[in-house]
Structure 1
Amino acid sequence: MHNLQSVFRATAGWCISLGTKIISVTPLATVTIQLASFTAQILLLLTFFLPLKILILLGSDSIPDYFPLYLKNIEKTHLIAGLSALTFLCYILYISSELIIFHLSKVGAEKLTNKSKKLNLFSNQKKISVQIYSKFNRGLSAGSFSLIALSILLYIYPLFFLAITIYLLLITLLTIKLFNISQSIRNLLTTHYTVALNTLAAIGFLIVFFFMVLNFLYYDPPKVFAALISLLLVRQALSRLTLMIQDVISLRTQHRQVNALFFYRQQFSTELNLPTNKIRNLLDESTRNIWLRDAINSFSPHHQVVKSSSWHQLGNPEIYAFEVTTHSTEPALESRFLVKLFSENISIAADQEAALMLAKPAIPSLKFFGHTEVEGLKCHIFVLDDFKKIERHTAQANALLTNKKLVSINPPEALVLKFGRSHLYLEQRLRLELFEQVRIIALPEQLYTIEKIIEKHSYIIELLSTLPRQIICLDLGPDTLLISENKDIRVSHWANWKMEPVGANWPITHLNELKNAVTEARTIRADFKEITSAAFKVCALAYTFERLCSRANYADAIALLPDLLEQLESNETSTLIRVDLP
């Protein structure tokens, strides 16, 4: 973990290098943008200030005494008209300045990328380079404006300048101190820095405003006009200072893209998906067994002591799983658990798995022991018992067996409704546009089948919507399938589950096994009895077709359509026969 001072130094050095590069390559564009930005900010300040003065004049019988003498000599009506015209002119000039900034940002960014003489590094490169160049110039102009505004403040209201300077110094020192000693503060500032900066700026303005009030009540104050100008300057200076810091943080988070785009000898490198320092500390064996023990004991009725813990591969770089062996003395018992720790980036996956486990469907899962948090990271605990990973060569057969079990399980109605309110079902995703899209690239001999499918599209959607629902698991493989001593198969990971019509996610090379699975499930699920086996096969084929289209694998998707049409016609025939039977 780096302290905030070292982060400041590294960021300042990088910004100086970036600024030197940008100014050396695009001096004219950069200087013009800075002048236009400064002009725009002055004009924006005037557009706030002038309407206020106009309102004061409209509400008074004469020109107030604190107005400058050269303005008091003008007739009130003429002064109001003149200030209104000036306000309109300021708005026009402000918009013109912004257009100049926009145009020169495109020119400067293009010149920088051309200067680096590199291939296109990523999509939308031109747009990204313009955004980066604009962000740099905006931050630079915001910082320059803040410095100039505070310099003017020092001249017209020194005591006010002293107050705001002391506040900025104190809040900077306090932020550094809290960031370095408190993990929660560090997480808060890292995650919500925009809110934190805006809040600190608002607090600073409030403090100096009350300071001004006290100054006018108990000390020797400046003229009201100077105080009003000072208040506006402080407001704008704090706002621009906040904007500058936000832009610097934003640029720093994109430093790999920035370096690759604008620096001649810097190549583009993606960030390695490595654990954070906090996670590395938690994974270290010296600390791992401590939090594993505490997490398990938060749910165990008997105190558990960790004997050993070993890595359990799940195939996800941001989920850290361990097989943990524990023992308790009263009663003397040895237990095995599977403990999963989720990184902050995929906490949604933890929520997804927890939602399923807490609904308690009769799925082939390990017994869910509980979920907790370890230093802000979500942690799930399962009872492992004597389960171990399957042999890799048996993965396909055991995945098919698991899918067969899932077909027979009637999911809880509350879970079905909750999923339907959150996600689209297959019949909602299988839009007519998918079939029209593959028709464009189909061979002439394939068009007849596609046309027939398009004609039956509404029938397909109606059929899928009437099918019973089932839970499917998209993470069935040698890393997640477990087997016990008595050959019971369980799935160790359920973060990637969905609710679909029965038949979805069934491998289409094993459609006969789907028919057998449905036949067995009819004795368990009453909602299967009036549905043909062909209807479930339609679902399996339609689901695979939709997934292939989403991956732009149109050739394989089109190859499925004859089988889909055959099963549709088979289902229609079977349905008609049932209707005609007495």
Structure 2
Amino acid sequence: MHPATPLHWYCSVCVKVVGSVPGHTFLLIVLMLVSQLSLLSAFFLPIKAIILMGSPFIPDYFPAALASLGRKTLFTYLSIAAIFLYLTHLLAENKIKSFTERGAQQLIVNCANMIPFEDQENLTTRTFSRLTRSLANTLFITAALMVLGIMYKGLFFALLGICALAGSVYIFVRPAPTTEVLEIPNTVASLGFLAAFGFIFYDLLNTTSSNIIAALIGLMLARQIMQRAAILIQDTHSLMTQHVKISNLLFNMPFLATSDNSPDILWTLLKPDVRHSLIGNAISEITGASYNVIDAKWHQIGIHDIAAFEVTARHTATAQKHRFLIKIFNSKRKNLAISEAMLLANTQHTNLPTLPFLGASAIENFNCHVFEWTSLEKCDPLYIKHPMHSVFKDMMRTLPAANLTELFLNSQPLLWDRLTPHNLSAFELAIDTTHYADILQAFIAARADIVSHLKKVPLQIANFDIHKDHLLSDPQGKLYVSHWGLWSLEPVGAGWPTSKKELQQLHGIFHDLQLNRDDTRHLSFQLFTLSVLLSALDRLVAKQHFISAAKLLPPIMAAYAQETAPQQQESRI
């Protein structure tokens, strides 16, 4: 039976894990405590050694047996002990990793009734590691507080007060859902250590009977207590956020669709009672004019975590109605938003079939893009082939702006950078077992020269992520693409289909291209064909569709042979 409260659930998990793998759990807790204590001692002993060498005599807190060794000998022993303890810490950390993996495997074996699911082994390892680390940190914090309670009662009560204050603040000032909750414990721990240091500083200045060594040990323990408390909170939070999977892992509980009640912030913001206001503010910010949203109708983009609305808004000054398309990207899609905005901001007044882009803004930290919208309709998905061909031709005709090319080259590889022996190694391994092995070896042997020819091909803007929901047309038949999150720069011809029928259309496309782009007039038809085929090969290899990619090798080698034939004839002459 699933525990009713988080505390009960957490205790049940601890009991289950300890009961399933008691030996590994106990050994890991011991190793973690050894690691923490040896690291703490390794930092403390050098301080004592430096104090020793800075004093004219051996301080009284050293036992007589050690004091009799002399300052230099004692300093040497302390330094060697610090090195030994640090090596002990490293060895313990190494063993912790090894025993965590073994314990997780044993946990899987002992919980034989669990329902298998994706990423099960990694989840088991993370759960076991965090749980044992939480138990070790709890023991360490308890022991450290007991030490402080004996040797430095003032700091002990000060730390309890700091923890009580931090808990009270958290209760009364709940962090916003968009706040990175895992960063809060680190911040609070740093502030808590600063407060503890302030208390020690005040105590040393105002108390004549203060013990410097106790203050020094107290300061180091305060730092460790705060740091371990932050890690404990983070580990506990991570376990709680995955309680459904962990329950399935340990208690054979089924996954419950309603078990995660945490709302998605984006969809909360787009509820009807606040949607119009937020969208209107975004449009007003981008256009520089004030608009009131009259209607916002859902527009299907067909990509997870991207919301889009066809918006009708009234200009507050002129009372005229205007229409917009607004796209709002969830935080996980931020990279797509940045990529699309970078392209659209640098492709105004080109052949690229994009919607008129008005600008980019943010709705409560979510990226949003605003476009002009007219009477556009989605293309019929049953007759999408011809519109796709037209869009591919438009992209070929578009010469990328120089600044856009520079931005892309600073972050992404081009096709000839991707056709490397390393990237082709899996392709070679698979095709060596087929009847395409000989022609593949010929391609591998000529790869460097093929790439050198490919580099002569000008670039175009390509979008290989066009779906049926992205293709739009106006009443005059002009086509638009509504999503450009995964655009790239590719050699001209990239993206054109490579079926026999569609390859027969390349002559007409090549002629049209040379009429519309001056930088393609030096190209031969063979080199253009090679660009089309190599782009298709690259995409198929990336998807590990190796047989389909191998079927392109004969036309690739034929185009390459025709391209290099004039050079070979000249070399013979």
| TM, length-normalised to structure 1 | 0.88
Report Cα offsets for 1:272-316 as digits up to 9, x if no partner.
999944222222222212212222222346543322211111111
Residue of structure 1 in register with 2:370 after alignment: 381
Residue 422 of structure 1 and its aligned partner are, at CA, apart by 1.0
Change (3 A) 1:301 1:414: closer
Give SS of 2:361's match: strand
For residues 264 and 425 of structure 2, the distance between their equivalents in structure 1, rounded to whole angstroms, comes to: 50
- 1:544 paired to 2:536: yes
Residue 353 of structure 1 and its aligned partner are, at CA, apart by 0.7
Equivalences for residues 198-237 of structure 1 within 5 A: 198-219=186-207, 221-237=209-225
Counterpart AA for 1:507: P
Query: Paired residue for 1:529, among 521, 527, 532?
Result: 521
Report Cα offsets for 1:376-420 as digits up to 9, x if no partner.
111110001122212222211101101111111111111112111
Report Cα offsets for 1:425-474 as digits up to 9, x if no partner.
11111123555644444466433322332332122201221101100112
Give the conservation status (yes or no) of the 8 Å contact 2:424–2:541: no
Report Cα offsets for 1:9-34 as digits up to 9, x if no partner.
96544322211111111223322332
Counterpart AA for 2:303: N
CA RMSD of aligned residues (A): 2.9
Residue of structure 2 in register with 1:27 after alignment: 22
Give the conservation status (yes or no) of the 8 Å contact 2:427–2:544: no
Query: Paired residue for 2:320, among 320, 323, 333?
Result: 333
For residues 476 and 321 of structure 2, the distance between their equivalents in structure 1, rounded to whole angstroms, comes to: 19
Change (3 A) 1:277 1:207: same
Residue of structure 1 in register with 2:556 after alignment: 564
- 1:397 paired to 2:386: yes
Give the conservation status (yes or no) of the 8 Å contact 1:157–1:226: yes
Equivalences for residues 480-499 of structure 1 within 5 A: 480-499=470-489
Residue of structure 2 in register with 1:281 after alignment: 268
Change (3 A) 1:483 1:92: closer
- 1:343 paired to 2:330: yes
Residue of structure 2 in register with 1:355 after alignment: 342
For residues 243 and 469 of structure 1, the distance between their equivalents in structure 2, rounded to whole angstroms, comes to: 50
Change (3 A) 1:454 1:48: closer
For residues 157 and 25 of structure 1, the distance between their equivalents in structure 2, rounded to whole angstroms, comes to: 40
For residues 69 and 441 of structure 2, the distance between their equivalents in structure 1, rounded to whole angstroms, comes to: 81
Residue of structure 1 in register with 2:117 after alignment: 121
Counterpart AA for 1:508: T
Residue 267 of structure 1 and its aligned partner are, at CA, apart by 4.8
For residues 262 and 52 of structure 2, the distance between their equivalents in structure 1, rounded to whole angstroms, comes to: 63
Give the conservation status (yes or no) of the 8 Å contact 1:369–1:382: yes
- 1:146 paired to 2:137: no
Change (3 A) 1:121 1:177: same
Counterpart AA for 2:276: N
Residue of structure 2 in register with 1:3 after alignment: none
Change (3 A) 1:177 1:516: farther
- 1:518 paired to 2:510: yes
Give the conservation status (yes or no) of the 8 Å contact 2:115–2:248: no
Residue of structure 2 in register with 1:63 after alignment: 58
For residues 305 and 402 of structure 2, the distance between their equivalents in structure 1, rounded to whole angstroms, comes to: 32
Give SS of 2:33's match: helix
- 1:252 paired to 2:240: yes
For residues 385 and 422 of structure 1, the distance between their equivalents in structure 2, rounded to whole angstroms, comes to: 35
Give the conservation status (yes or no) of the 8 Å contact 1:167–1:204: yes
Residue of structure 1 in register with 2:399 after alignment: 410
- 1:308 paired to 2:300: no
Report Cα offsets for 1:222-245 as digits up to 9, x if no partner.
322222222222122112212222
Query: Paired residue for 2:305, among 305, 308, 318?
Result: 318
For residues 339 and 357 of structure 2, the distance between their equivalents in structure 1, rounded to whole angstroms, comes to: 14
Change (3 A) 1:26 1:330: closer
For residues 272 and 447 of structure 1, the distance between their equivalents in structure 2, rounded to whole angstroms, comes to: 52
Give the conservation status (yes or no) of the 8 Å contact 1:365–1:490: yes
Equivalences for residues 36-75 of structure 1 within 5 A: 36-67=31-62, 72=67, 75=70
Residue of structure 2 in register with 1:553 after alignment: 545
Change (3 A) 1:215 1:395: same
Residue of structure 2 in register with 1:189 after alignment: 180
Give the conservation status (yes or no) of the 8 Å contact 2:178–2:265: no
Residue 343 of structure 1 and its aligned partner are, at CA, apart by 0.2
Comparing 452-461 and 546-555, the one that deviates more: 452-461
Counterpart AA for 1:16: C
Give SS of 2:180's match: helix
Give the conservation status (yes or no) of the 8 Å contact 1:366–1:382: yes
Give the conservation status (yes or no) of the 8 Å contact 2:313–2:322: yes
Report Cα offsets for 1:125-158 as digits up to 9, x if no partner.
5465334322221221112111211122122211
For residues 275 and 471 of structure 1, the distance between their equivalents in structure 2, rounded to whole angstroms, comes to: 40
For residues 525 and 101 of structure 1, the distance between their equivalents in structure 2, rounded to whole angstroms, comes to: 63
Change (3 A) 1:90 1:332: closer
Comparing 106-115 and 319-328, the one that deviates more: 106-115
Report Cα offsets for 1:173-220 as digits up to 9, x if no partner.
22333325xx3xx43333xx24x4333222222222222222222235
Counterpart AA for 2:476: N
Percent identical residues: 27
For residues 433 and 101 of structure 1, the distance between their equivalents in structure 2, rounded to whole angstroms, comes to: 35
For residues 397 and 274 of structure 1, the distance between their equivalents in structure 2, rounded to whole angstroms, comes to: 45
Give SS of 1:324's match: strand
Paired residues, number: 562
Give SS of 2:304's match: coil
Comparing 45-54 and 308-317, the one that deviates more: 45-54
Report Cα offsets for 1:78-112 as digits up to 9, x if no partner.
54455445445544554554455445434422221
Report Cα offsets for 1:506-535 as digits up to 9, x if no partner.
111212333322211212211111112221
| TM, length-normalised to structure 2 | 0.90
Give SS of 2:307's match: strand
Counterpart AA for 1:452: A
Give SS of 2:515's match: coil
Counterpart AA for 1:161: F
Give the conservation status (yes or no) of the 8 Å contact 1:215–1:221: no
Give the conservation status (yes or no) of the 8 Å contact 1:399–1:477: no
Unaligned runs of 5+ in 1: 1-8
Give the conservation status (yes or no) of the 8 Å contact 1:66–1:224: no
Residue of structure 2 in register with 1:170 after alignment: 165
Residue 350 of structure 1 and its aligned partner are, at CA, apart by 0.5
